[in-house]
Amino acid sequence: MTMDIIETDDLCFWYGDKQTLFDINIPIKKNAITALIGPSGCGKSTLIRIFNRMNDLIDGTKTTGAVFFNGENIYKPDTDVLRLRKRVGMIFQKPNPFPMTVKDNITYGPKLHGVNDRKELDAIVEESLRKAALWDEVKDRLNTFALSLSGGQQQRLCIARALSINPQVLLMDEPTSALDPIATSKIEELALELKEEYTVVTVTHNMQQARRISDYTGFMYLGKLEEFGRTKHVFDNPDSKLTKKYVSGIFG
């Protein structure tokens, strides 16, 4: 049996002595969009931050169980965490471009990873911006300050920045919640294009968005993965009564 691109095995997680995730077993399918939904505080952000070990940056946390990325347990002591984060990129709720030019935002990562050739860097800039559906809007102002772009453009720039170092997985934590409907639908379209080449895991409070764009949905509740399956199944015919209540808007 082949493994999914990310899989967890009885994953548990604590902030200090407070357990936040309980025995999570989730398969993340390659070249698909997985949406994580659930009420505030149920552990969605905590879970996706585990996929590239971002929680390591917080003191006093503990993780048990295993998380496999391409079949390798990323919580093994000898894991190269920088390499992992290169492969598993992250997009946040609030667009957070670096305070530098559009172009420098994209070349920052590749330079850090040893790319110095100007032509090569220019090619990475164009390719990343094209893939993030931003090239046409910024090609004539690559040297403007990134923070002068609109919120939606800044978010696509952050996606382009993540793409510049050739990730396999993109983690997105409520990537559209700070955006207007038009900027939101651009990001949604983009996610659908990106899954051809990448694997996307997104957290959303927007049920319509989860339904529209995701192939798989995980419903989390109080730190547990209450239900996981094909999005259509989870929304239209869920196994769990709690899931049914949540997706029909009875609580949340």
Tell me which residues in 30-89 interact with Mg ion (CB under 5 A). Answer: 45
Tell me which residues in 44-83 interact with ligand ATP (CB under 6 A). Answer: 44-46, 58
15 lines the binding site for ligand ATP (CB under 6 A): yes
Q: Which is nearer to ligand ATP, 109 or 218 (CB)?
A: 218
Asked if 11 contacts 65 with a C-beta cutoff of 8 angstroms, the reply is: yes
Give kind and range of the element (H or E) at residue 140. Answer: none
Distance CA 114, CA 229 (A): 40
**Residue 58 binding partner per list Mg ion, ligand ATP, none, with a CB distance cut-off of 5 to 8 Å that depends on partner kind:** ligand ATP
DSSP 29: P
Q: To 10 degrees, the CA torsion angle through 189, 152, 217, 248?
A: -100
**Residue 112 binding partner per list ligand ATP, Mg ion, none, with a CB distance cut-off of 5 to 8 Å that depends on partner kind:** none
Distance CA 106, CA 46 (A): 27
**Could you tell me the smallest distance in angstroms from the CB atom of residue 89 to Mg ion?**
17
Distance CA 192, CA 144 (A): 28
Q: In the structure, how many helices (H) and strands (E) does the chain have?
A: 10, 11
Q: Which of 1, 17, 40, 136 binds ligand ATP (CB under 6 A)?
A: 40
**Residue 71 binding partner per list Mg ion, ligand ATP, none, with a CB distance cut-off of 5 to 8 Å that depends on partner kind:** none
Q: How many residues touch ligand ATP (CB under 6 A)? A: 11
Task: Give me the residues that bind ligand ATP (CB under 6 A), please.
Answer: 15, 20, 38, 40-46, 58
Task: Give me the residues that bind Mg ion (CB under 5 A), please.
Answer: 45
